[in-house]
Amino acid sequence: MITGSHNPSEYNGFKLCDGHEALHGPEIQRIAQVIEARRFHSGQGSTTTRDALSDYREMLVSKFQLARPLKVVADWGQSIESTDRYTYGHCGRVADYGIKVAQAMGLNEDEQTTLRLGAYLHDVGKVKVPHEVLNKPGRLTEEEFEIVKHHPVWGLELLAAVEFPWDIKPIIRWHHERYDGTGYPDRLKGDEIPLNAQIICIVDVYDALTTTRSYRAALPREEALPIMEKSRHWWRDDVYQAFMRSVAVE
């Protein structure tokens, strides 16, 4: 769930999914400072951080037809988890793992914020996957897997009318693409795949292996990592190495 003050001056951060913070207080303050700087350089004069936060919130609210944007994120996140009891908390773990990989790669705060929000919404398209397919207690048929493979495209369709101030849509569409070109939905290859989508891809696979799913029990880290080693050609080498230096050693 999202929690947060309606008063920008009392704002401490939004929380979503299973209690993980999507945007921390310092990140919000920094966004406000960027807005303040842009207003100053555009000739609109200086403003206070509190005013900038108010302007920022007002801008987002207008884009979502008077609905708080991160409230929309929370609603979708809850919808995802309500359709698949085995992946409760998945988006929060993927976000946390993704930030650790991003930090190991030296990504800046803007890039980390984009990554975090993209992680929370990466599987939003699964709300259109039939329940009996999503929670099937066995191996999917080829036809069923083709349905599941549509969820990145469906995710973008759900977000088509939404304009985020963060470039999260490439994460949603391409988090199942692989560096060797064997992924989906567009079979992108190599550096055609955005870096943040590659990061979410590797941590998504790790979380899938190490948590219980409808079709198998969770694997311990010691068994999951050799499986990922065999599939390391799915990811750019520096992404894989950053994953091994951060998430894999915990």
60-91 tens-digit pLDDT: 444 444 335 555 565 566 556 565 666 667 88
Q: Which CATH superfamily is domain 71-249 in?
A: Hypothetical protein af1432 (1.10.3210.10)
117-144 tens-digit pLDDT: 899 889 988 888 888 898 888 889 999 9
pLDDT for position 7: 33
Q: What are the extents of the domains in the chain?
A: 71-249
pTM: 0.70
Quote the mean pLDDT of the chain.
76
Residue bearing the bigger pLDDT, 219 or 85: 219
| Residues 227-241, mean pLDDT to the nearest whole number | 97
Judged by DSSP in three states, 183 sits in: coil
Angle between helices 195-210 and 109-121 (to 10 degrees): 50
Judged by DSSP in three states, 213 sits in: strand
**Rounded CA gap, 102 and 2, in Å?**
24
Q: How many residues does the structure list for the chain?
A: 250
Positions marked active-site: 126
What is the amino acid identity at position 135? N
| Residues 170-180, mean pLDDT to the nearest whole number | 97
| Residues 231-244, mean pLDDT to the nearest whole number | 97
